[in-house]
Amino acid sequence: MNLSKRVSHIKPAPTLQISAKINELKAKGVDLVGFGAGEPDFDTPDFVKEACIRALKDGKTKYTPSAGILELREALSEKLQRENSVQYSPSEIVVTAGAKMALYLIFMTVLEEGDEVLLPSPYWVTYPEQIMLCGGIPVVVPLKEEKGFVLSVDDIKPHVSKRTKMLVLNSPCNPTGAVVPEEELRKVVEFCIENNILIISDECYEAFLYDGKRFVSPASFSKEAREITFTVNAFSKTYSMTGWRVGYVAAPAKYAKVMADINSQTISNATSFAQYGALEALKNPKAKEFVKEMKWTFERRRNLAYQLLLEIPNISLVKPEGAFYIFPNLSAYLGKLGSDIKLVEYLIEKGRAACVPGSAFGAEGYVRLSYCVSEDTIREGIRRIKQALEELS
Ligand code: PMP
């Protein structure tokens, strides 16, 4: 096969694979509880859909500027100032086909062959794959369950080398739900400034922070912090628009221009009418209520899932502070099966409950449950998991 070296490592996203497996079994009529999906179970708000339909009817169906329509970049610039206290001009914002493409553009833009990227672990599955696709080397920074999987500057230091180019921050984190406290985040950013390390701040879960916590963007800390940071976000989770594929990256103009140029030579632009839907999500006063409702719903589900999982013997568990995932340690149950992949298969076949194996996130022995399902489904699913695990031991 004439495959390039660049793609020789690539694997399909296991999270999407599990979702596909769940849908396939459900379509066959299997009664399965799916904790796999990394997307809200809320429908996209009607006012967003209507704005998109209006755009279609008004003929907004042609190429847009490769960085995205100006109205959307202006609205994002206002949002970043108002909610994140960072000043980015519209020319420093590039609208992309989801946050995934934003991340890919960043790695393409800054990585040289052999550059190292610090990746706190457990990490979201896509980071290492994209880093390698762009010629970089992911350098895993293991985080401890005992410390709630929260990153500290001391975790990073031993992994820095002459080739360290970037650090990936993802707080709230997929898959652990961990949130880095502002004080520690400041120390991490200071360290990166002093050591010439660029930062990606993946803020996809900024809307989902619990226990009254407030979200902070690293780029807001100082002028120097803003200079080294790529702020990434999307409409996917906040407005339940995963299929629309609209995300964005904000970064100093020298980077933004190149990223828009890559867009122009690859996808051209994020889908025109989807951008108008995204614009409505930022502009419509009803959006705040929608996001608030979703956040409260997830917070209640988090509390329920946490409480129920704790009732399973020999499990250990960190209480997530954000996002919509919970990441129990089931290593006590691996014995007979040997791996978390086998454990997940067992839970699907015996328990009729599906989650994602921790090894996909660099954490063997754990499983990720997404609580983007109703409270009744959480109760039933965790009951099944508990029973299947009891039968195993
Ligand atoms: N970053 C993180 C941490 C995510 O969990 C996801 C989605 N699972 C993304 C980025 C990608 O988001 P999008 O669907 O907008 O590409």
Count the neighbouring beta carbons within 10 Å of the beta carbon of residue 368. Answer: 29
Q: What is the CATH number of the domain that holds 12?
A: 3.90.1150.10
Ligand 1 probe mutation, 204, 231, 356, most atoms within 8 A of CB? 204
Q: Is 99 in the pocket of ligand 1 (CB under 6 A)?
A: yes
Q: Which atom of ligand 1 is nearest to the CA of 242?
A: 14
Q: How far apart are CA 17 and CA 321, in angstroms?
A: 26
Q: Is 16 in the pocket of ligand 1 (CB under 6 A)?
A: no
Q: Is 236 in the pocket of ligand 1 (CB under 6 A)?
A: yes
Residue 336 domain flag:
yes
Tell me the per-residue pLDDT of 322-342, one tens digit each, with 9 for 90 and over: 999 999 999 999 988 899 989
Q: What is the ipTM of this complex?
A: 0.99
Same domain for 310 and 277: no
Contacts of residues 253-261 at CB distance under 8 Å and 24 or more positions apart, as own/partner, are: 253/89, 253/91, 253/92, 255/106, 255/109, 255/110, 255/230, 256/67, 256/91, 256/92, 256/93, 256/94, 257/91, 258/109, 259/94, 259/96, 259/105, 259/106, 259/109, 260/65, 260/66, 260/67, 260/94, 261/66
Domain holding 156, by residue range, is: 61-284
Last residue within a domain, chosen from 284, 299, 325: 284
Whether the predicted pLDDT of 25 surpasses 90: no
Same domain for 38 and 94: no
Residue 53 domain flag:
no
Same domain for 169 and 131: yes
Span 93-103, mean pLDDT? Answer: 98
Same domain for 313 and 257: no
Tell me the per-residue pLDDT of 36-66, one tens digit each, with 9 for 90 and over: 888 999 999 999 999 999 999 999 999 999 9
Residue 141 domain flag:
yes
Whether the predicted pLDDT of 183 surpasses 90: yes
Residue 50 domain flag:
no
Tell me the per-residue pLDDT of 214-271, one tens digit each, with 9 for 90 and over: 999 999 999 999 999 999 999 999 999 999 999 999 999 999 999 999 999 999 999 9
Q: Is 206 in the pocket of ligand 1 (CB under 6 A)?
A: no
Q: What is the CATH number of the domain that holds 144?
A: 3.40.640.10
% of the chain at pLDDT higher than 90: 89
Query: What's the whole-model pTM score?
Result: 0.96
Same domain for 66 and 38: no
% of the chain at pLDDT higher than 70: 100
Number of domains in the chain: 2
Same domain for 114 and 160: yes
Q: How far apart are CA 339 and CA 325, in angstroms?
A: 21
Q: Specify the residue with its C-alpha closest to ligand 1, atom 3.
A: 174
